[in-house]
Amino acid sequence: MLSQMSQWQLRHEVEEAPAKEKRVQIGSRFDEIPQWRFLAGIPLIYIPILIGIVPMILCALFVRAHLRMVGASNLKTYWNDFVPSWVSHRYTRKSQIVSDKFAARYGSWVSITRSKLFWIFNCKLYCPLSVALLAYVVYLVKIVEQWWCPFGHDRKHTYADAPIDRSFWHANGDVDLLHPDDRENPSWNEHALQREPVSEAGA
């Protein structure tokens, strides 16, 4: 069960989202999509189980091994840091809701959606575990780039959730070769946070 504070934070984030990101339009088109197209699209979401999950797991294992072998420690873990705790899910096996309207709308093709197990599998296992896996791989790859390539670009600020102590260039003694902004970027230079910024007016 979400605490009142976490519920407030979630609601605040959702309310702020439109100002930060362009909202995806999907629910407003629900009644416009032909039935055959909607039903044909449902199985496509399960194809990643067959062709994507194993390669992503291998990717995570290899990238994590690389980071550990070049000296990384304090890495986040998949299960503890990315997978939501089982008790935090809104519904339990007994309280899980199902959609009778959906089955009535599309007939026997989607009769399985009347089963609680269908929604538990999809919404408590498949979706959150998949999101967690993808987020974990992205986290690890961000660290790789922070370490080897501490060079600014217009998306680098999105790597702030994967900070490291020092980049390869800092650790290898090549820090003077870096652009001044890259030398003092706190995403890959922990000491940048400890220094007082120098004003342009000059001290």
Rounded Cα gap, residues 61 and 162, in angstroms: 17
Q: How many other C-beta atoms can be found within 10 angstroms of the C-beta atom of residue 159?
A: 21
- Distance, CA of 173 to CA of 159 (rounded, Å): 23
18's tokens? 């439109």
Kindly state the helix (H) or strand (E) to which residue 64 belongs, with its residue range: helix 53-69
Q: In whole angstroms, what is the distance from residue 136 CA to residue 193 CA?
A: 26
C-alpha span between 144 and 69 (Å, rounded): 12
Asked whether 142 and 167 are in contact (CB, 8 A), the reply is: no
d(CA 102, CA 148) in angstroms, rounded, equals 50
Cα–Cα distance measured from residue 91 to residue 108, given in angstroms and rounded to the nearest whole number: 25
- What is the model's pTM? 0.83
Beta strands in 127-186, from DSSP E residues, in sequence order: none
Is the Cβ–Cβ distance between 63 and 148 less than 8 Å? no
User: pLDDT in tens for each of the 203 residues of the chain?
Assistant: 445 545 545 455 545 554 567 999 999 999 999 999 999 999 999 998 889 999 999 999 999 999 999 999 999 999 999 999 999 999 999 999 998 888 888 887 788 888 999 999 999 999 999 999 999 999 999 999 999 999 999 999 999 999 999 999 999 999 999 999 999 999 999 998 665 554 444 44
